[in-house]
Amino acid sequence: MVIPVTVLKLLRRFRRAVRSMIFYSLILFLVVLFIGGALIMYLIEHGKNPGFNNYFNSVWFVMETITTVGYGDIVPNTYLGKIVDMVIMPVGIAVISLLTASIATELTNIAITRSMGHHTTSKGKHIVVIGDVDRVLRVINVIEELMNMRGGEIVDILYIGNGDKPPALPTDVEFIRGDPFNASDLLRAGVDRASTVVILPFNDVDVKTADAKVILLIMSIRKLNPNAYIIAEVLNEADRDYALSAGANSVISLGSFTTVMIANEVFNRGFSSVLMNIINRGGNLDLMEGNEYVGKRFMEVVQLVKFRLNYLVIGVIRNGEVILNPGNDFVIQSGDSLLVIK
């Protein structure tokens, strides 16, 4: 018999709840309230005290007694009722104190566990970032800057790593301490529910080893989440195709990018400065939906966008392919995105 994963998770949570001190304290509280207190007082006072004319009033009396509220609207009249009430008072106060302490302890443990990254995230549709901590921090900071530039667009970000929580990690970024190469730790980070996963190289001396780890992570995450958009960085251009074959949606090779920039700088001095300025000021380079301009020629779209938004259209992205400065006869199709400089 195969038990669904969700059912197993619920069973594990129920087992943990049963073993917790809060559970036992709550059971003890309910026993004192409904059986040890209310029922006995009802049996003693009913028929002799108009305040205990029904069981609910008895429960009300015990509740206000053990919580030390003591409105005084209902009081026992019989000696036996008063003696029982004298027992209920200290026992009830002790049970309430135990329940309160148990809840406070559990909340403290949860906070400590979360701060250390040993918890399981409840996030979904979030961004998971994996890799060398220095690279991760730089990428996260840029992502947050871009979110601010996009009018306060909010996307939850989570970082999973082996070490302690980086002091420089932004406070709104969730941290999971775990081994990214362990499937259970990846599930704790919610990669199976993530919308985007960013995989950066680790700080390995050997470039091949660093890229191999990236490719291994791509395969593991693609298996856990077939729908995630996986962005990966490799250090060796030759490994780019392997990363794409492993399941990455987008692979960036820093080596090839810098090589092209240096070569162009030889003949076009200032080229690298202009390009780096556009990249570093990420809000300048953006994508626009092109559905509004379907059927129109590229040059016509350039003029319309410039007139309406004062943006410069420099290319079109079609089926994942970037087409820079297409010809005048190029026609925008449904699903195309416009690459613009703001």
Q: What is the mean pLDDT of residues 323-337?
A: 87
Residues 64 and 184 both lie in one domain: no
pLDDT of residue 133 exceeding 80, the answer is: yes
Structure tokens belonging to residue 139: 């990428």
Residues 110 and 49 both lie in one domain: yes
Of the ranges 79-88, 102-111, 169-178, 198-207, which one carries the lowest mean pLDDT score?
A: 102-111
Structure tokens belonging to residue 71: 């409105």
Domain end among 47, 81, 116: 116
pLDDT band of residue 222 (cuts 50, 70, 90) is: very high
**Domains of the chain: total:** 3
Residue 331 DSSP symbol: B
More confident residue, 149 or 53: 53
Residues 288 and 224 both lie in one domain: no
**pLDDT tens profile 167-189:** 999 988 999 999 999 999 999 99
Q: What is the mean pLDDT of residues 238-260?
A: 81
Q: Can you tell me the distance from the alpha carbon of 252 to that of 232, in angstroms, rounded to the nearest whole number?
A: 6
Confidence (pLDDT) at 285: 74
Confidence (pLDDT) at 19: 53
Confidence (pLDDT) at 152: 62
**Phi, psi angles (nearest 5°) of residue 224:** -80, -30
Confidence (pLDDT) at 190: 93
pLDDT of residue 85 exceeding 80, the answer is: yes
Residue 4 lies in a domain: no
Confidence (pLDDT) at 191: 94
pLDDT of residue 295 exceeding 50, the answer is: yes
Domain of 209, CATH number, reads 3.40.50.720
pLDDT band of residue 267 (cuts 50, 70, 90) is: low
More confident residue, 250 or 109: 250
Q: Can you tell me the distance from the alpha carbon of 7 to that of 9, in angstroms, rounded to the nearest whole number?
A: 5
Confidence (pLDDT) at 127: 94
SS3 320: coil
Domain end among 62, 88, 116: 116
Domain of 242, in residue numbers? 127-257
Residues 133 and 228 both lie in one domain: yes
pLDDT band of residue 42 (cuts 50, 70, 90) is: confident
Confidence (pLDDT) at 260: 65
Q: What is the mean pLDDT of residues 313-338?
A: 86
pLDDT of residue 108 exceeding 70, the answer is: yes
Domain of 295, CATH number, reads 3.30.70.1450
Residues 199 and 80 both lie in one domain: no
Q: Can you tell me the distance from the alpha carbon of 274 to that of 281, in angstroms, rounded to the nearest whole number?
A: 11
**Pair 156, 127: CB distance under 8 Å:** yes
Residue 183 lies in a domain: yes
Percent of the chain exceeding pLDDT 70 equals 82
Name the nearest CA neighbour of 142 among 211, 188, 198, 207.
198
